[in-house]
Structure 1
């Protein structure tokens, strides 16, 4: 039986991919915290990713000094400017490390939850098929 074809497992897998992409963008923001004129980025919501049908491009490098990831975002994920940045420095950089740390902790917690739901779903299937706990 192929678990990825079942909607629950597919949704949990997509959620973990989205969280991985979000963590990559947060990491890029942190890596560029001291880069002049770097603007913090965020990815589109999980709802938009699930509803999207066409793949999008990853981050656009606006300056040769920006650190860019080699990983690409999952299909349907858009990387956008983060309008919720708390402040902006005199050099034009608006990455606030405390804000990025909070976002990173949220992603870690959400990832653990999605992985646990995936595991519990697998256990439930195992019990349903074998009858053994």
Structure 2
């Protein structure tokens, strides 16, 4: 009954995106001393969500029922801006650490949305 709500799909997609981006950032940091390694990244969740062309408004599938469309998708890696190291390595550890903090905030935001939505649902069915 409540398994297909748009807010949960969005929170799940946001958390999945954060996890995948954190993996890419960790790989960049792990290769910070690899000669010729160029950093990778994933487009921001907002940019990907806006360009996906998904309808944000909810659609009714039957009387008394609202349901969102689509679901989370894997995000493609893109070339990140290289730092210009003399050995050809483009990883800036400082920039990667800042990206890691940004991703943690995104993941925390997704969890907060999920928890808040769960609390609202519990309250609505009388299980506060």
| Both proteins in one fold, TM over 0.5 | yes
Q: CA deviation at 1:45?
A: 2.6
Structure 2 match to 1:15: 14
Structure 2 match to 1:127: 123
Relative to its length, the structure with more strand (as a share) is 2
Structure ranking higher on relative contact order (CA contacts 8 Å, 6+ apart) = 2
Instruction: In structure 1, list runs of 5 or more residues that go unmatched.
Output: 54-73
Q: CA deviation at 1:114?
A: 1.1
Q: CA deviation at 1:129?
A: 1.2
Q: Which runs of 4+ in 1 moved over 6 A?
A: none
SS at match of 1:42: strand
CA distance in 2, matches of 1:21, 1:125: 28
Map 1:1-133; keep pairs closer than 5 Å: 1-3=1-3, 5-47=4-46, 49-50=48-49, 51-52=51-52, 75-83=73-81, 85=82, 87-130=83-126, 132-133=127-128
Q: CA deviation at 1:49?
A: 4.0
Pick the structure with greater CA Rg: 2
Figure out how many residues of one structure are paired with residues of the other and give that number.
109
CA distance in 1, matches of 2:73, 2:32: 27
SS at match of 1:94: coil
Query: In angstroms, what is the RMSD of aligned CA positions?
Result: 1.9
CA distance in 1, matches of 2:47, 2:112: 23
**How high is the TM-score relative to the length of structure 1?**
0.74
| 1:67-99: CA deviation from partner (whole Å, max 9, x where unpaired) | xxxxxxx7341101102x4x2111110101111
**How high is the TM-score relative to the length of structure 2?**
0.76
